[in-house]
Amino acid sequence: MKLIDGKAISAALKEALAAQVATFPDKYGRVPHLVVVRVGEDPASVVYVRNKAKACEACGIRNTTIVLPEDTSEEALLEQVRSLNADDSVDGILVQLPVPKHISEARVIDTIAKEKDVDGFHPYNVAGLWQKTPHMSPCTPAGIMKLLEAIGVDPKSKRAVVIGRSNIVGLPVAKMLLDANATVTLCHTRTVDLPSVTRQAEILVVAAGRAKMVTADMVSPGVVVIDVGMDRDPDTGKLCGDVDFDSVAPKASAITPVPGGVGPMTIACLMENTVQCFLARH
Ligand code: NAD
């Protein structure tokens, strides 16, 4: 069994980006600038936003974090986004999700200029993925594809099974696997007899948000497992994935750990998207 070291693979990507960014002041007069907006004090969001700032620092990308109070009105947030859209010194805008319930996530995403949409969630970029036209790729699915590439797994002609059909992970990664010529099955809460489907997988991507739901009996020997889940282990309270690592790992040919698998790749791909937005604007 090969442990897919997302930390090392993402570190290599960030190093390459840092080397590229270091050439920008001479070429373009400045470095890329990512603005992250956080509304409220959701503890997970506080950690994610901090990690994004750290990654910017590692890559030489300028970072501004704007923290707005929980009771910020939707209009005030949209106004903030519009002013960042208009600010020429800003290359990428990310509003950390989830936003408080009184704010429409869709309206926030729609308001971010598509050219600065480093998350790849804007309808223009979503359509670009599905129509194979130029677009910004969503970070977590892009990171998953990079992990597969880094360990030399070509999805071509393989049976790929994805658990979860969210807009940010399951659905786009299924499309990316399809574009990489895998035969893809997308599973969700209404899937009948999930284990019989997952046992067919040569590549299994799990993004359900259910701690340790994939157990050894649900996979076939030699499967490549990508665990996107970031859950709390109900027994220990520690961070764990959607895959019961201890029982599944011995059967897998390769598997991501949680933490240290998909998570760091998501952030590295966000850095890559920021650089791409910067370059597209120059
Ligand atoms: P979501 O709740 O939006 O979607 C979950 C999907 O899983 C749904 O489509 C649902 O139908 C499916 N699902 C849930 N339980 C299921 C079950 N028992 N059987 C079959 N399908 C089931 O979640 P999301 O935003 O896609 O996130 C999924 C997980 O990935 C979460 O744990 C989240 O924290 C994590 N995540 C991690 C990263 C990262 O960078 N590592 C990024 C995004 C999300």
What is the Å distance from ligand 1's center to 165 Cα?
8
208 CA → ligand 1 middle, Å? 3
Per-residue pLDDT tens digits for 65-122: 999 999 999 999 999 999 999 999 999 999 999 999 999 999 999 999 999 999 999 9
CB atoms closer than 10 angstroms to residue 89: 10
Give the tens place of pLDDT for each residue, 8-21.
999 999 999 999 99
**Among the options 96, 227, 242, 244, which is catalytic?**
96
Alpha carbon distance 247, 219 (integer Å): 10
Mean pLDDT of 168-196: 98
CA distance 191 to 173: 18
Taking the centre of ligand 1 as the mean of its atom positions, its distance from the CA of residue 14, in whole angstroms, is 26
Contact (CB, 8 A) for 262 and 228: yes
Residue 122 in tokens: 């804007």
52 is catalytic: yes
| Catalytic residue list contains 156 | no
| First-to-final CA distance of the chain | 44
Which residue is closest in CA terms to ligand 1's atom 15? 208
CA nearest to 89, candidates 244, 239, 232, 281 = 281
Quick one: pLDDT at residue 281? 93
Q: Is the CB of 138 under 6 A from ligand 1?
A: no
Report the distance separating Cα 136 and Cα 81, nearest Å. Answer: 18
Catalytic residue among 5, 91, 117, 119: 119
- What is the per-residue DSSP string for 27-90? HHSS--EEEEEEES--HHHHHHHHHHHHHHHHHT-EEEEEEE-TT--HHHHHHHHHHHHH-TT-
The tens digit of pLDDT for each residue in 110-165 reads: 999 999 999 999 999 999 999 999 899 999 999 999 999 999 999 999 999 999 99
Look at residue 216 in the predicted model and tell me its pLDDT: 98
Helix axes 6-21, 262-281, angle to 10 degrees: 20
| CB 103 less than 6 A from any atom of ligand 1 | no
What pLDDT, on the 0 to 100 scale, is given for residue 129? 98
Task: Specify the pTM.
Answer: 0.98
**pLDDT of 185-225, one tens digit each?**
999 999 999 999 999 999 999 999 999 999 999 999 999 99
**226 C-alpha vs ligand 1 centroid, how far in Å?**
13
188 lines ligand 1 (CB under 6 A): yes
Whether residue 209 has its Cβ less than 6 Å from ligand 1:
yes
Average pLDDT over residues 248-263: 98
